[in-house]
Structure 1
Amino acid sequence: MDTFSRQTGFTLVELMVGLTLALLLTLGIANIYVQTRQTFRSQTALSRMTEDGKYAMASLQRMMFQAGFQNTSSMKSNMSTAFPAGYGMAAGTVIKGNDTSVDIRFLGDPDGNIITCAQDSTGNSDYPLLTTNQQYAYRLSVENSQLKCGRLDNTGSTVSNQQVLADNIVDFNLVYGVDSDNDRLTDTYTDAPTNWANVYSVRACMVVRSRDDKISVSSTGKSYLNCSFPDHAQQSVSNSDGHLYRTFSTTLYLRNKPN
């Protein structure tokens, strides 16, 4: 008698169900991968923006703190004697500007406590330290979404070799704290002081944008805080804008103004 062997296997339906489950699993893993990668890109972009913003604000802060500096050989002089008229400023004035640009001046320090923020190494053997006992003047401003520092000549004009301190700045604003009752404390803020000798502080704000334009997922209602003092209103962003935005704001005291 012939013996027939019985063969078993997967039916077509079972194969289709298995393939479907495998496809769903693959899609799930792919979705997790995409989300993880997007989160990583967002965190990386945010970290870069934070570093860029902190560096730009720190550079602005350092230069503001140097405004009106006098070294040990001249610190007994009054402001008008130490800083005569020049660099586009009146005698005794060490800061002048507008809402997007500020000029400052100070003396060098043989002890090496003063630095430059511009590419002015010509004739300066201690670059970036400013150790020569002479007057220096610089302009910090935002042009074409870049925070720049340039050296000023005696007429108050920016000379060549400006240094780019930060990129991707979409908003920038400066207002100046004015002392109106001679107590050396700020009473009001304005972007156009009438007497720069009475300015004792500066409020600075900047909005930094991510370099990558494919970070933020398109959605409605996106916004960031702009640099309109004092309220920093919400600034709307296009739904198709894939950039991230971060606002930096601080108040700087001009600590080298004794009179």
Structure 2
Amino acid sequence: MKKSQTGFTLIELMISLTLGLLISASVIQIMISNNATEGLNRALASAQENGRFIISRLRSELLMVGRYDMLSPDLNDDVDLVVEAAFVDNTPVALPGDFSNDLAKGSLEGATGTSDTLVVAFQGSEDCRGNTFGYDADEEFVVVNEYFIDGTSLKCKGFDGRVLRGQKIAVGNDANKAYTLLDDVYSFQVLYGITEPTATTDNTARPVQYVAADQISAAKTAGSQVVAIRIALLIKADSNMMLGTSSSFKLLDAEAITPTDKHLYKQFETTITLRNSKNTVRSRNI
């Protein structure tokens, strides 16, 4: 006896094809979603890594601001150290007009929508680029570092403070050559923590107010001193990851910023206590 053979009906084939297409579409969607998630994670990791690096770098350098030790055996003594100590103690954050050989050099409040410029002074053996300006190895002098945004890069320049003050002629190292600390920095904002005016007889040397660079001069006239620096940066992730919408960011006292593209951006902020300046302020009240 011959057995009849039967196959799939047309309806069964159509159902199978439909189910196969649905399953394939689901798998493809999961793969696309995983790729997008992976790209987002890479972008976040990139921004986070760059942010941690620059915050750590700036913190380690700015902790030295206001330092001056006349008793240090490494300090070069070719100038009047008492006068120089008074300058560094009173000018941890430099302003335009503080340096006779470069009256424009100093911390600046950026115009609306632009970044700030930070200029600081301290006793050290090299500037932010590792330059020694002709001094012997490990020999210390007054270092002046300038931090600013050039295009989309956070850069620094270093100077011999004695040259800026007209006490010596520049030796070696091109002070006008900027060193790039980090690329893809969209904004760099700075505020300065100042103490109470001397009239209050407050000797705690704690920051009671944070002001912009253009307010420091008036504060110093009243007897206040800068004892802390607050920094905020907006960093673009090193990735081609694009978001659906652009976010707005509010950095310190600056107006809200909305990047023109839809890349991933991340905001970083830190406050650095200038322990050397705090000790100087406290010593005045002993």
TM score, norm. by length of structure 2: 0.70
Task: Provide the rounded CA distance (Å) in 1 between the counterparts of 2:259 and 2:144.
Answer: 38
CA distance 1:28–1:233, change in 2 (3 Å):
farther
**Shift >6 Å, 4+ stretches:** none
Q: Is the 8 A contact 1:138 1:150 kept in 2?
A: yes
Task: Provide the rounded CA distance (Å) in 1 between the counterparts of 2:132 and 2:20.
Answer: 65
Task: Provide the rounded CA distance (Å) in 1 between the counterparts of 2:16 and 2:135.
Answer: 75
Which residue of 1 is the match for residue 139 of structure 2? 132
Which residue of 2 is the match for residue 155 of structure 1? 164
Which residue of 2 is the match for residue 106 of structure 1? 122
Q: Is the 8 A contact 1:178 1:199 kept in 2?
A: yes
Tell me the secondary structure at the aligned position of residue 60 of structure 1.
Answer: helix
Q: Is the 8 A contact 2:195 2:226 kept in 1?
A: yes
Task: Provide the rounded CA distance (Å) in 2 between the counterparts of 1:227 and 1:79.
Answer: 39
CA distance 1:165–1:19, change in 2 (3 Å):
same
Task: Provide the rounded CA distance (Å) in 2 between the counterparts of 1:116 and 1:69.
Answer: 14
Structure with greater strand share of residues: 1
Task: Provide the rounded CA distance (Å) in 2 between the counterparts of 1:69 and 1:189.
Answer: 21
Tell me the secondary structure at the aligned position of residue 214 of structure 1.
Answer: coil
Which residue of 2 is the match for residue 46 of structure 1? 44
| 2:30 maps to which of 22, 29, 32 | 32
Task: Provide the rounded CA distance (Å) in 2 between the counterparts of 1:124 and 1:52.
Answer: 33
Q: Where in structure 2 are the equivalents of 1:51-70 lying within 5 Å?
A: 51-70=49-68
Cα displacement (A) at 1:53: 1.0
Alignment partner of 1:165 is 2:174: no
Cα displacement (A) at 1:227: 0.9
TM score, norm. by length of structure 1: 0.76
Q: Is the 8 A contact 1:224 1:246 kept in 2?
A: no
Residue type of the partner of 1:227? L
Structure with greater helix share of residues: 2
CA distance 1:123–1:81, change in 2 (3 Å):
closer
Residue type of the partner of 2:251? C
Task: Provide the rounded CA distance (Å) in 2 between the counterparts of 1:121 and 1:26.
Answer: 65
Tell me the secondary structure at the aligned position of residue 66 of structure 1.
Answer: coil
Tell me the secondary structure at the aligned position of residue 8 of structure 2.
Answer: coil
Task: Provide the rounded CA distance (Å) in 1 between the counterparts of 2:82 and 2:273.
Answer: 20
Q: Where in structure 2 are the equivalents of 1:157-236 lying within 5 Å?
A: 159-182=175-198, 183=203, 184-191=205-212, 192=214, 193-194=216-217, 195=220, 198-216=225-243, 218-219=244-245, 222-229=246-253, 235-236=257-258
Task: Provide the rounded CA distance (Å) in 1 between the counterparts of 2:121 and 2:232.
Answer: 21
Task: Provide the rounded CA distance (Å) in 2 between the counterparts of 1:251 and 1:79.
Answer: 30
Task: Provide the rounded CA distance (Å) in 1 between the counterparts of 2:269 and 2:120.
Answer: 20
Between Structure 1 and Structure 2, how many residues are aligned? 237
Task: Provide the rounded CA distance (Å) in 2 between the counterparts of 1:51 and 1:250.
Answer: 15
Which residue of 2 is the match for residue 250 of structure 1? 270
Tell me the secondary structure at the aligned position of residue 29 of structure 1.
Answer: helix
Residue type of the partner of 1:155? L
Which runs of no fewer than 5 residues in structure 1 stay unpaired? 110-114
Which residue of 2 is the match for residue 81 of structure 1? 83
Q: Is the 8 A contact 2:43 2:241 kept in 1?
A: no
Which runs of no fewer than 5 residues in structure 2 stay unpaired? 74-79, 95-106, 110-115, 282-286
Cα displacement (A) at 1:105: 2.0
Cα displacement (A) at 1:84: 6.5
Task: Provide the rounded CA distance (Å) in 1 between the counterparts of 2:190 and 2:209.
Answer: 13
Residue type of the partner of 1:186? P
- Deviation track 1:155-207 (CA, whole Å, cap 9, x = no partner) reads 38982442222222222211112224233332332211113982111111111
Residue type of the partner of 2:206? L
Instruction: Please tell me the root mean square deviation across aligned C-alpha atoms, in Å.
Output: 3.4
Task: Provide the rounded CA distance (Å) in 2 between the counterparts of 1:122 and 1:61.
Answer: 23
